[in-house]
Amino acid sequence: MNETISPEWIAVDWGTTHLRAWAMQGGTAIAKARSDAGMAKLERDQFEQALLDLVNGWLGTGTTPVIACGMVGARQGWVEAPYKSVPCKPDQSAHAIAPCKDARLQVRVIPGLKQEKPADVMRGEETQIAGFLALNPDWDGVICLPGTHSKWVHISAGEVVSFQTFMTGEQFDLLAGSSVLRHSIDTSGWDKQAFEDALSDSISRPERLAANLFNLRARDLLSAQPKDIAHARLSGLLIGAELAAARPFWLGQQIAIVGATSLSQIYADALAVQGVPATVADGARMTLAGLQAAYRQTKETV
């Protein structure tokens, strides 16, 4: 017999490519589900059904609160959740209400953060930051959130003071999958020494990045450089350029890295080469902790 799931509320992380949901009883996840119904695949009038397809079995006859973060609140999402301006606390006290035809759903969407000068925005990462701070009260320093668009975020007195975004992950995917380098790279392999060598090259001379990238192709053609070495060198070159530009964020600061474990560890290793220790925190756990904090605040204010 299938166990009936009757959550108090539902936590949702809705990104560009994926949809994840947790059935929550207080602060405990009693079930989870995911689909590939990301924002990029949906028109505005399709979001409610995509959510129902995933969580319908968790809904009773009453209304279940849903707290959602991520690209669901973008201009092209279900409902636009206006950005909050930094400096501010990522406390998620303001929520946009998504229009729902099904009375069993009440969906609140967490806003992203914006920075006017230099212009920058984030959606989804603010919830991970809020989760990290909820689990690490009174923490000051810099949080790095590696991914498709990596973020470096300065935290002081519980506020996001400033941040900067780098398209490092997207650059890697484009270069490894769509450029001439695709013939020379195997992303399944890894060489730690090659990564560290390329990292050091890029940090010391970031202006050489474009030339060093083509050097990967030349090494393949002229000396049959192994493709796993090319993979590691490409990562090292791009992350090195990011670290060189983000130096004002990480130099002399307490650092936490929040994201997928494997990628976060690569960033931690890169910082360790520079003599900078970093704490690594699981991104999914921080997202859920941030959604829990938002739900608690919603209960207090409603």
The strand order across the sheet containing 278-282 reads: 159-166, 150-156, 141-145, 255-259, 278-282
Q: Is residue 293 part of a domain?
A: no
| 158 plus 242 within the same structural domain | yes
| pLDDT tens per residue across span 154-189 | 999 999 999 999 999 999 999 999 999 999 999 888
**CATH number reported for the structural domain that contains residue 258 in this entry:** 3.30.420.310
Number of structural domains (the chain) is 2
| 70 plus 155 within the same structural domain | no
What pLDDT score was predicted for residue 91?
Answer: 74
| 82 plus 165 within the same structural domain | no
What pLDDT score was predicted for residue 298?
Answer: 85
| 98 plus 183 within the same structural domain | no
pLDDT score of 302 more than 80: no
pLDDT classification of 5: cutoffs 50, 70, 90: confident
pLDDT classification of 80: cutoffs 50, 70, 90: very high
Cα distance between residue 141 and residue 155, in whole Å: 5
Q: Which of 92, 113, 134 is the last residue of a domain?
A: 113
| 228 plus 183 within the same structural domain | yes
| 166 plus 67 within the same structural domain | no
| 176 plus 88 within the same structural domain | no
pTM: 0.94
pLDDT classification of 92: cutoffs 50, 70, 90: low
**CATH number reported for the structural domain that contains residue 26 in this entry:** 3.30.420.300
| 91 plus 129 within the same structural domain | no
The residue-averaged pLDDT of 2-24 equals: 92
| 147 plus 237 within the same structural domain | yes
Taking the mean position of all CA atoms in its chain, how far away is CA 17? 12
| 145 plus 72 within the same structural domain | no
| pLDDT tens per residue across span 104-151 | 999 999 999 999 999 999 999 999 999 999 999 999 999 999 999 999
Residue in the block written with tokens 């969906």? 107
> Is the Cβ–Cβ distance between 73 and 109 less than 8 Å?
yes
**DSSP result, 218-282:** HHHHHH---HHHHHHHHHHHHHHHHHHHTHHHHTTS-EEEEE-HHHHHHHHHHHHHTT--EEEEE
Q: Is residue 300 part of a domain?
A: no
| pLDDT tens per residue across span 185-211 | 998 889 999 999 999 999 999 999 999
Q: Is residue 101 part of a domain?
A: yes
Phi, psi of 116 (to 5 degrees): -75, -45
Q: Which of 59, 79, 113 is the last residue of a domain?
A: 113
| 155 plus 35 within the same structural domain | no
Q: Name residue 199's amino acid.
A: L
Q: Which of 67, 88, 113 is the last residue of a domain?
A: 113
Q: Cα-Cα-Cα-Cα dihedral of 255, 260, 262, 264, to 10°?
A: -10
- Average pLDDT score, the chain: 95
| 183 plus 229 within the same structural domain | yes
- The residue range of the domain holding 52 is 1-113
Tokens of 106: 């009440």
